[in-house]
Amino acid sequence: MDWKFLQTQNVRNLVGAMSGLMNRPAGVPCLAVVHGPAGRGKTEAASWYAVNKGGRYLVANSMWSERWMLSDLYAALRGLKSAHFGLKKQAYEECLKVMHGDSLPIFIDEADRVAQKTNHLEALRDLSDRSGVPIVFVGTDQILYRLQQREQFASRVSQVVAFKALGRDEVKMIVGELTGLGLDDEVADKLVTASDGYFRDLVVLLSHLSRAAKASGAKALNQEMVTQVAKKAVLRMAA
């Protein structure tokens, strides 16, 4: 199976939201939320956008102190592997200085890890407000709920992207692009059911199906192949 990044509807929705965020009129807030269950492809989409469209990307750490978070943010802004500041105030000021001269959006993945940390969120909101640099929080469905519970954030989120489950047509496109194997609508529906529409689970299934098809010389997937591979995948997960 050949891996490649695919422009699913979720990715297109993200690109559209980012266009709106980056071209917002004066006075429109510049925070955004990308949410959905784990396995829907949010991380891949956010990191792809940062690399290919322009942006900064970092992953929240559950152990972050405010100073540690700001140090990691500074490293992401400057393209460094790491950064260290002795004082939180110094880290904040250095981040703000870079952000004043850099309008690229900042993606914070696994944002659930900081969603309940008031001081962390306030520091990020303040940096965004003062610099005008968009910050995109990427997390589970809970991230949107938690941010909306905070009055200071609720009015500042101008773009929300929900990563939804894959449907039949997208599954057929993904199978064709990643494996080159044929499939009919019934097999596509079975893959939707087996993966529950999760991009990550579908890719795992396709890696096994691709090997099975290669071993048997099959040029197209059939329902029996999907059933057998799906059963083995469930057994492995259960183990």
Band (231; pLDDT cuts 50, 70, 90)? confident
Query: Max CA-CA distance within the chain?
Result: 63
Mean pLDDT of the 30-53 span: 96
* Nearest by Cα to 221 from 202, 234, 199, 200: 202
Band (190; pLDDT cuts 50, 70, 90)? very high
Q: Which CATH number fits domain 9-162: 3.40.50.1000, 3.40.1390.20, 3.40.50.1860, 3.40.50.300?
A: 3.40.50.300
Domain residue limits, the chain: 9-162, 168-238
User: Does the pLDDT of residue 152 top 90, yes or no?
Assistant: no
For 9-27, write each residue's pLDDT tens digit.
Answer: 999 999 999 999 999 998 8
The three-point CA angle 231-141-61 to 5° equals 95
Global pTM exceeds 0.85: yes
What is d(CA 218, CA 88) in angstroms, rounded to the nearest whole number?
A: 60
What is d(CA 129, CA 206) in angstroms, rounded to the nearest whole number?
A: 44
Q: Which CATH number fits domain 168-238: 3.40.250.10, 1.10.530.10, 1.10.8.60, 1.10.10.10?
A: 1.10.8.60
What is d(CA 211, CA 214) in angstroms, rounded to the nearest whole number?
A: 5
Helix residue spans in 79-198 (DSSP H): 88-100, 118-131, 141-148, 151-154, 168-179, 185-195
Q: What is the pLDDT of residue 155?
A: 85
